[in-house]
Amino acid sequence: MQKNNKNALRVRFAPSPTGKMHLGNVRTALENYLFAQKHHGSFILRVEDTDFERNFDPGAHQILADLAWLNLSFDEGPYFQSQRTDLYQEKLNLLAEKKMVYRCFCTQEELEKKRERQIALKKPPRYDRTCLHLTEEQIQKNLAEHKPCIWRFHVDETKSVSFEDLAHGTLSFDLANFSDFAITRQDGSFTFIFANAIDDALMQITHVLRGDDHLSNTVSQIAIFKALQIETPIYWHLPVLCNKNGKKLSKRDFGFSLEDLKSTGYLSQALVNYLGIIGGSVVDEIMTLEQLVQTLPDKPSSTSHITYDLEKLNWVNRKWIEKLSAQELANACKPFLVQQYKLDHVSPEKLGILIGLVQSDLVTLQDSIAATKFYFAAPTIAPTLDQATKDILEQSLKHLKSFDIWSQYLKQEAKKNNLPLSKLFPLIREILTGSPKGPHVQGIFEVLETIEVERRLKKALVA
């Protein structure tokens, strides 16, 4: 239910279920959540599902699951625009009575030809108001012939609009530079621009936080607010996420899709942490959601874009992996491991020990597949050993009762034979895991257990 306190801060996250959640969506949701938390306001979820043909996620089940995974809880909602058509129709009727909207019967083909001609003449492409001048008789004739039409908002080009933006201050725009925009589609559904503005008004949204790429939409919506004599919210146009080439982040950039990041094994805590600090300056960069609330700046940056840095995200994710207990990390890695290995014979305790052994080597959870391969499959290729090393390892098989006894023997024999430990132990690690680098040999010994260590050593000695 909506709160009755008119002075209460109210923000909303309004995703469209026409595609999968991406980083831009996530950052917008996060900033709205942090803003509401810091100012003791309400965070509202509104699903903008009026574009029925492109509805990818009916019921917004994936959106809800994504927000839950990110731990971004909302105070109200979800509200669905598809269930609020009567409210939009009421406001449309009001504008029609005031002669502030009109029916447009131009076809897409006609509009495209006009647009191409305007571009050829080096004019800004905008609707030429052909249908604004139709007589009532012409309108009724078109309706009687069942010609498809939309409603357009008549922009008063003699006026300008102004609004407050937290990052940019007061912004003013001359409406002479804006076209009469559509507020319905031919199927009768309402466009984003109109439904969004009406909902912000009816839901008493006090602050609108969204991407800087919505700036032109904001101007159109302010015009709607003015026409309906509705109080305008305060805006914060967030910097747009760009790749390293300065272009807006797109599907071609890895990590654009939240699903990509989840399936690769990025932690939700790390993703929220990264998006919360990107473009800012903080002393301690690794922060929980609660700490991000406290560090949200009172004066937002006025930059129009910020760069998405995958290397920095990897660093943050690695730091969060380091923060988890071995058992917590094992639970997080398990869905990735079961895709590659049979875990039926691996107890939760053993899995925790195994994951703890490779924890410092993981950047993402997916890395656990390669990092733990040595446990599930013995190396197929053994390193080349000289005779002295072979003799030491062969004799060491008699001392495998414990790692301490075995390693003590190895150190003694290595010293007698002038074999540096810095050479011997990497060879042993390579025999046991397939790589001279990786977990410490004691951990490998304990997780594989004596029988398997002996088997791998013997195989290497006869290679």
Going by pLDDT thresholds of 50, 70 and 90, the confidence category of residue 300 is confident
Going by pLDDT thresholds of 50, 70 and 90, the confidence category of residue 7 is confident
Query: 214 in helix, strand or coil?
Result: helix
Indicate left, alpha or beta for 172 from its phi (over 0: left) and psi (-120 to 50: alpha).
Answer: beta
Read off the pLDDT of residues 142-163 as tens digits, 9 standing for 90 and up.
Answer: 999 999 999 999 999 999 999 9
- Mean pLDDT (whole number) for 223-249: 94
Going by pLDDT thresholds of 50, 70 and 90, the confidence category of residue 4 is very low
Does position 2 have pLDDT exceeding 50, yes or no?
Answer: no
Does position 438 have pLDDT exceeding 80, yes or no?
Answer: yes
Cis? peptide before 383, omega within 30° of 0: no
pLDDT at residue 279 in the model: 84
Which is more confident, 322 or 299?
322
DSSP classification of residue 241: E
Read off the pLDDT of residues 370-387 as tens digits, 9 standing for 90 and up.
Answer: 999 999 999 999 899 999
Does position 67 have pLDDT exceeding 80, yes or no?
Answer: yes
pLDDT at residue 54 in the model: 82
- The average confidence (pLDDT) of the chain is 94
Could you tell me the two tokens for 203? Answer: 């839901």
pLDDT at residue 305 in the model: 87
- Mean pLDDT (whole number) for 3-18: 82
Q: What is the percent of the chain with per-residue pLDDT over 90, rounded to a whole number?
A: 89
Does position 6 have pLDDT exceeding 80, yes or no?
Answer: no
Nearest-5° Cα angle at 350, 409 to 314: 100
Does position 317 have pLDDT exceeding 90, yes or no?
Answer: yes
Query: 391 in helix, strand or coil?
Result: helix
- Mean pLDDT (whole number) for 358-378: 97
Could you tell me the two tokens for 389? Answer: 């090393």
pLDDT at residue 174 in the model: 96
Read off the pLDDT of residues 344-355 as tens digits, 9 standing for 90 and up.
Answer: 999 999 999 999
Q: Contact 293/285 with Cβ under 8 angstroms?
A: no
Q: Contact 390/461 with Cβ under 8 angstroms?
A: yes
What does pTM read for this prediction? Answer: 0.91
Going by pLDDT thresholds of 50, 70 and 90, the confidence category of residue 304 is confident
**Cα 77–chain centre separation:** 21
DSSP classification of residue 253: S
Position 460, amino acid: A
- Mean pLDDT (whole number) for 267-278: 97
Spatial separation of the C-alpha atoms in residues 376 and 458, rounded to whole Å? 18
Does position 128 have pLDDT exceeding 50, yes or no?
Answer: yes
φ and ψ at residue 253, rounded to 5 degrees: -90, 125
Going by pLDDT thresholds of 50, 70 and 90, the confidence category of residue 5 is low
pLDDT at residue 3 in the model: 41
Read off the pLDDT of residues 169-202 as tens digits, 9 standing for 90 and up.
Answer: 999 999 999 999 999 999 999 999 999 999 999 9
Which is more confident, 93 or 301?
93
Query: 462 in helix, strand or coil?
Result: coil
pLDDT at residue 88 in the model: 98
Query: 394 in helix, strand or coil?
Result: helix
Q: What is the percent of the chain with per-residue pLDDT over 70, rounded to a whole number?
A: 99
